[in-house]
Amino acid sequence: MNKKVYDIFNYGSLIVVFGLLILMLTEAVPRDWFVPIAAFAIVLLIVRIFLRIRISLQNKKNLKE
């Protein structure tokens, strides 16, 4: 995964999570959906953190070579 794709995913995921938060705060979605939406947002943020660590390790490895 190159840096450009990661950056797009990184900022895109933040926008999605922010949008979901706005939907929840304005109660534009039923309260029954709050838990699945929150779970999706948490998973998305965890994937984002995992990819950030992976990219960092990959960059360190490339610098050593």
The model's pLDDT over 17-36, given as tens digits with 9 standing for 90+, comes to 999 999 999 999 999 999 99
**The pLDDT of residue 2:** 74
* Torsion of Cα atoms, 22 then 23 then 27 then 28, to 10°: 140
Predicted confidence (pLDDT) per residue in 33-61, tens digit: 999 999 999 999 999 999 889 888 888 88
Radius of gyration of the chain (CA): 15
CB atoms near residue 41 (< 10 Å)? 18
**The pLDDT of residue 1:** 62
